[in-house]
Amino acid sequence: MKLKNFWGHFCTIHIHKIRVMKNCFRVGLIKQGLLHDLSKYSLEEFIPGVLYYQGNRSPNAAEIEDKGFSKAWLHHKGRNKHHCEYWIDFSMDPSKGMIGYKMPLKYLVEMVMDRIAASKTYKGKDYTDASPWEYYVQGKAYMIVAPETERLLETLLIMLKEEGEKKTFSYIRELLKKGDY
């Protein structure tokens, strides 16, 4: 393991976590902000993160390219409710197979904050409020997500893209006061 990769990965996940935390605090999700992505510091996620660190994208993508899957990602998504993959399970209707279940609002909002922070972290000075939407569109065809979760996620990402953080975060605070979507 290279020391450069160790510090690079540590700084990347720490900066990302701080960005998510600040944004969660801005919309009133204190607990989500404090607990966000703690599993990234576990050995199961941290060591592969160092081994596959590149600095400009998730190490999980490089691990998938190398092994055909990412053990770190499987660990991460199974422990972090702000990932839509956490909410995938078998349908009660066997003909539908695996489906996405509706995400609770606080985790969906944390997911939006996660996408904003990840985009800022990896895009740096090239970040715009459209970046989280663009990243979402690239992977949308591969997502399994409940229709109502997809609608709100898209609404928030498009609002961010077209109207900016201030208005989007204000809208999110009002949604959180209502408690559901």
- Hey, where are the domains in the chain? 3-178
Give backbone dihedrals phi and psi of 180, rounded to 5 degrees, phi first.
-160, 175
Could you state, in chain order, the average pLDDT of each consecutive group of 10 residues for the chain (181 residues)?
87 97 98 97 97 93 97 97 97 96 98 97 95 96 96 98 98 96 92
- Contact by Cβ (8 Å): 120, 127: yes
3-state secondary structure of 90: strand
Q: Name residue 154's amino acid.
A: E
**Which residues, other chains included, contact 33 with Cβ-Cβ below 8 Å and sequence gap of 6+?**
20, 21, 22, 23, 24, 25, 113
**Which residues, other chains included, contact 132 with Cβ-Cβ below 8 Å and sequence gap of 6+?**
112, 115, 116, 118, 119, 157, 160, 161
